[in-house]
A = this chain, B = another copy of it.
Amino acid sequence: MSISPFDHPFLSGLLGDAEVSSYFSAKSEIRAMLDFEAALAKVEAQHGLIPPAVAQRIGEVCAGFEPDLSSLKAATATDGVVIPDLVRQLRKAVGDDAGSHVHFGATSQDVIDTSLMIRLKAVAFLLSGRLFAVSARLQKLDDQFGPNRLMGRTRMQAAIPITVSDRLRAWRHPLEQYRDRLTQESFPLQFGGAAGTLEKFGPNAGEIRASLAQALGLTDEPQWQSQRGRIAEFAGLLSMISGSLGKIGQDVALLAQAGDEIELAGGGGSSAMPHKQNPVAAETLVTLARFNAVQLSGIHQSLVHEQERSGAAWTLEWLLLPQMVVATATSLRQALQMLGTIKRLGTAS
């Protein structure tokens, strides 16, 4: 299937990002879910809740477990979440006695949200690296063309002359701020049990949660299963990144239309006019900026997350957030590529 251009056999060449997408493959999702189950068992053994041998057995099975995907698909259709069937399969693989200890005290949302956080943490690191690369390329353009003259334009009209450095500063400054923000972002464990109270763990609940967070390399925080502000904030940051890159794209497209202040290598061909050099990457940056601005609205709709867990609001996040992550990654990839094609910027003063 190929409903989304991000996953599409040929459109993904333009709009997809293989590196970041790999974190949202079913395989990666399940891998992080199994890491959760293994770490949970290990921590529960450390706290004397399940026998150490059981935890070891669970860990070993998790390490190599490959679930039956068609069973997962059929079960998700009914359950709305993949975890009940995944746990059922995993228990069976672990074996009857030890198997009953799998997933003890946890619930679907613990596994799914934590799996997301494990992967978002890695993705944030990647995006941060790309932001650095784009900034560096902007710096390089500044080194090459900074003193060149550029017509400053306000309200779509020539205003007064500025330098290429002035324009580049407006492009680069927000990206550096976003990079700082990405670096500061924390990625917390979600662990609440059936209704957020860790009711199976009694007074040790806090300690177990802290150990589990540490085992998974995540921040220890109280459950946030119905409090989705952090998802909204992360999504907002993604949309700010693609939005600021969209501004760069729009500027480049406008420079390319005027034609006198920029020289681009390459550019897209046309089926009717082979001579054309379309600023495809620049336009794509605008597209992705507007795409993320649209999706963000849905993420914020999901803040109205009723009671202890809203199937409706939570599922909406699944439809939106992975796309926003990939749109942002593609946007960074395309920006880097586009900036690399700039052969000249401004006019020698």
Contact = CB atoms under 8 A, between A and B. Distances in A.
A290 B318 contact: no
Contacts of A320: 291, 294
A301 interface: yes
Interface string A232-254: 11001001100110110111011
B290 A301 contact: yes
A303 interface: yes
A227 interface: yes
Interface string A62-99: 00000001001111111111111001000000000000
Contacts of A75: 13
A301 B312 contact: no
A47 interface: no
The listed residue with most B CB atoms (<10 A of its CB), out of A9, A103, A108, is: A9
A271 interface: yes
A306 interface: yes
A298 B291 contact: yes
A278 interface: yes
A265 to B, nearest CB: 12
Interface string A11-54: 11111101001101110000000000000000000000000000
Nearest to A6: B3
Interface stretch (A123-131, A135-143, A156-164, A208-216): A156-164
A152 interface: yes
A257 B62 CA distance: 36
Contacts of A87: 271
A102 to B, nearest CB: 10
Contact of A257 (B5, B156, B266): B156
Given A155-B280, A284-B315, A303-B289, A2 B26 contact: yes
Given A270-B107, A318-B11, A309 B80 contact: no
